[in-house]
Chain A
């Protein structure tokens, strides 16, 4: 009798399991797939999404970077190199903001270190390239300030 009970219990448990999967097939709304390359236009990112580092520029192609190198020091991987230059007033300004995407771990520490909001985490996430050189980026659009 006990074994018969156990058998009935087993069968009902198996049927319950079948019910769970059947529920998925009869409710197409439960499908969670998002078709990626097609929905690229409609992709939404949370505001804090951490993609590759970008340097926002205003309409005159100016940026906030003062070449203070705080981000360079904050970076755990040595992904950032600030190359400075002198402007007409012989003041030290940003020459090139070299950002090596290949060694970046997107840890956000450089953005936290920056006192001027000169850099931020962008929403770019398709970071593949064919050569390693493609991943050495220069973030500022023009030299100096």
Chain B
């Protein structure tokens, strides 16, 4: 864990100005504020994007009234949610009920810390980045579980028990997909994973490992959809069955914490997908010099955002097309299909890596 390994003009300048402990604190504060801003802006933008995209999928217009193209609609919604009375049912478990909404947003915040947005735009680059990501993303699940349990409502309980069964199972195949990339790139640091994909588009892990990369990418999309609690795998919310699932009893600001965390989580998962499979902040090089130069001229964080938002569009597309699975189908899909498939895929990738049968 060497935060100094990432150089950035601003960070270096602060290090020159202040003695070392203060410089670390100042740098840390800047990083926290930057990530917090990113969380808020991303969440608000994604709420708008989800509503717009969903509306267009459904032959509607979506929000148009507040601000240009309804861009300020989520801001208005956020203000409404903040102003709302925070109703607390009498029979809830106090500590659990108030702790639960904080956990998912913290989890996504912690994931965003290690995501490399650009060459020099990353808060922290732990050597075991992948392990860290899997560890902290579990906090979201914890929040769902605690919230559903603490609400003391049968719908919430059903929702959180479903969430427990679903998220713990799907984490397996998601981790196996990540493991595949770690194995192929020989590093667990997210920054080094990106740097291992330098070259043309064909050097991205999705294409570089023939078949195995693409399969791993698809498995990652499916299992991260389940992790994110999004349709068609949004079993723990399941509006039509459980009214609101784990957040049935939540309102106002505590509900909006769950709600925003869902969107930030989506961004984090999409960013992770882009980092692992689509070359992160690297420009898509096609191997033809003039075009490549032009593409490389665009800054890395724009490429990162473009790739992440492409994945987000995939999430939205599937959500607004497919019906929801039933809980037993969902679990048998994971244990009988996705998990064996990802294990087999891992084996295939290991063979490919061992014999160096990768696209050169």
**Touching in the complex, A and B, CB below 8 A?**
yes
A24 touches B58 (CB 8 A): yes
Q: In the complex, what distance in Å separates the CA atom of A78 from the CA atom of B320?
A: 48
A21 touches B317 (CB 8 A): yes
B36-64 contact mask (Cβ, 8 Å, vs A): 1 or 0: 00000000000000000101111111001
Q: In the complex, what distance in Å separates the CA atom of A28 from the CA atom of B57?
A: 10
Number of A-B residue pairs, CB cutoff 8 Å, is 33
B64 touches A35 (CB 8 A): yes
B-contacting 9-mer, from A12-20, A58-66, A81-89, A94-102: A12-20
B59 touches A24 (CB 8 A): yes
A17 touches B322 (CB 8 A): yes
- B318 close to A (CB within 8 Å): yes
Q: In the complex, what distance in Å separates the CA atom of A26 from the CA atom of B53?
A: 11
Among B56, B61, B64, B318, contact of A18 (Cβ-Cβ < 8 Å):
B318
B322 touches A31 (CB 8 A): no
Chain A positions within 8 Å of B134 at CB level = none
Query: CB within 8 Å of B: which of A1-41?
Result: 14, 17-18, 20-22, 24-25, 28, 30-33, 35
Q: In the complex, what distance in Å separates the CA atom of A14 from the CA atom of B321?
A: 9
Shortest Cβ distance from residue B311 to the other chain A in the assembled complex, whole angstroms: 15
Q: In the complex, what distance in Å separates the CA atom of A35 from the CA atom of B55?
A: 14
Interface size counted on chain B using CB atoms at 8 A: 14
Chain B CB within 10 Å, residue with most, of A14, A17, A18, A21: A21
Shortest Cβ distance from residue B344 to the other chain A in the assembled complex, whole angstroms: 14
B61 touches A14 (CB 8 A): no
A33-B61, A35-B64 in contact; A28/B321 too (CB < 8 A)? Answer: no
Q: In the complex, what distance in Å separates the CA atom of A32 from the CA atom of B56?
A: 10
A17 touches B321 (CB 8 A): yes
Interface size class of A (residues with CB under 8 A): 10 to 19
Q: In the complex, what distance in Å separates the CA atom of A30 from the CA atom of B322?
A: 20
A18 touches B58 (CB 8 A): no
Q: In the complex, what distance in Å separates the CA atom of A24 from the CA atom of B52?
A: 13
A contacts with B: majority SS: helix
Among A20, A30, A33, contact of B321 (Cβ-Cβ < 8 Å):
A20
Query: CB within 8 Å of A: which of B59-89?
Result: 59-61, 64
Shortest Cβ distance from residue B301 to the other chain A in the assembled complex, whole angstroms: 26
Q: In the complex, what distance in Å separates the CA atom of A32 from the CA atom of B321?
A: 18
A22 touches B317 (CB 8 A): yes
Shortest Cβ distance from residue A26 to the other chain B in the assembled complex, whole angstroms: 9
A14-B322, A17-B322, A25-B53 in contact; A33/B60 too (CB < 8 A)? Answer: yes
Chain B positions within 8 Å of A24 at CB level = 56-59
A32 touches B60 (CB 8 A): yes
Query: CB within 8 Å of A: which of B309-327?
Result: 317-318, 320-322
B320-339 contact mask (Cβ, 8 Å, vs A): 1 or 0: 11100000000000000000
Chain A positions within 8 Å of B60 at CB level = 31-33
Chain B positions within 8 Å of A17 at CB level = 321-322
Shortest Cβ distance from residue A14 to the other chain B in the assembled complex, whole angstroms: 7
B56 touches A31 (CB 8 A): yes
Shortest Cβ distance from residue B103 to the other chain A in the assembled complex, whole angstroms: 33
11 contacts between A and B (CB under 8 A): A17-B321, A20-B321, A21-B57, A22-B317, A24-B56, A24-B58, A24-B59, A31-B56, A31-B60, A32-B59, A33-B55
Closest 5 pairs (CB-CB, A-B): A33-B61, A21-B321, A25-B56, A21-B57, A33-B60
Supply 6 further A-B pairs (C-beta < 8 A) apart from A18-B318, A25-B57, A31-B61: A18-B321, A21-B320, A21-B321, A24-B58, A25-B53, A33-B59
